[in-house]
A = this chain, B = another copy of it.
Amino acid sequence: MPSLLHDLRVPVVQAPMGGGPGTPALAAAVANAGGLGFLAAGYRSADEVAAEMAAARGLTDRFGVNLFVPGPRAEPQRFGTYMEGLTEVASEGEVGEPRWTDDDWEAKLELLRREPIAVASFTFGCPQAEVVAALKATGAEVWLTVTTPEEARQAAAVGADALIVQGHEAGAHQGTFDDAGAGEAFGLLALLQLVRAETDLPLVASGGIATGAGLAAVLVAGASAAQIGTAFLLCPEAGTSEPYRRAIREGGATEITRAFTGRRARGIVNRFLREHRDAPSAYPEIHYATAPIRAAARERGDSEDLNLWAGQAHALAREEPAADIVARLNADARQALEAARRADS
């Protein structure tokens, strides 16, 4: 099946990074260097997304938009104890209301139908076949994020054009369809082999890819491109906050946690994560509850109460313009392929 994945000059997709790091400037820089950039529609109103799309259109002729598939409302008793704990430790007025929203789902879909884009990608669930079909009718490709072979089967069944295969190495949220019932935490390479056995759809590999050798490896494993986020966090084009940049530069172990948002996500271990390993599965309720705590921490430059999303290879992130990173990954990937070919012959 032809996909724009096969037209990319460089097989690098910039991961949508909500909450700040992703910007139209970053998406455009990656696209103009031969890859594909993404805007993160999550946590924003449809109007805000429309404004970002307009900004991106001024900078590049092709980009994607990532949407969160809304999940079920959590029963309040599931997060009551956690909320009490948050209220005790947070300064007065800092804890937000644990509300549920559908993240402006219908309005965002309507926006993407009205103003077609190159690719609509989805995380946190499997959209209905009609949603997928309506977007495909605009000329967009629809890519669905999967973390298990079973999710890959479901995504193929609703008509996905491509699958973003996300390993547990990935920074930020796992795209798992059902966070509460999250199953096995597959490593990327095992998952690529298992998903390839399920479907012939084009695959985009995601999770801990930070070097040209890593990029070349997923291409050889059967992916058509790599989706890369953490390696772009230190770019001048990224909207990464100062305390977050400092944490990436300083480094440290990462862990998958529900502490910040009520959904499993990988970040660098800091005080807030350590003290909230008991966080329940309740997204977006916990996201909204902790948002003011995190905003205040960002404001005062404190990286200990912030979500420091980072993939397992974050130590390899460099402070370079995005175009230089794309060019380096591409050149190093070619070299890695060539070296393996020589060793093989």
Contacts and interface: CB of A to CB of B under 8 A. Distances in A.
Interface of A: 149, 167-169, 183-194, 196-197, 207-211, 213-214, 216-222, 253-255, 311-313, 315-316, 333-334, 336-337, 340-341, 343-344
- Tell me how many chains of this kind the complex includes: 2
Contacts of A214: 189-190, 192-193, 221
Contacts of A149: 315
Contacts of A191: 312
A337 B220 contact: yes
A167 B184 contact: no
A304 to B, nearest CB: 19
Nearest to A222: B213
Given A184-B254, A255-B184, A336-B222, A190 B208 contact: yes
A222 B316 CA distance: 16
Nearest to A269: B184
20 contacts: A167-B187, A187-B207, A187-B208, A188-B188, A189-B218, A190-B208, A190-B209, A190-B311, A192-B213, A193-B208, A193-B214, A193-B316, A194-B312, A197-B316, A213-B220, A213-B222, A217-B217, A219-B220, A219-B343, A337-B340
A178 to B, nearest CB: 14
A343 B215 CA distance: 14
Contact of A313 (B190, B217, B334, B340): B190
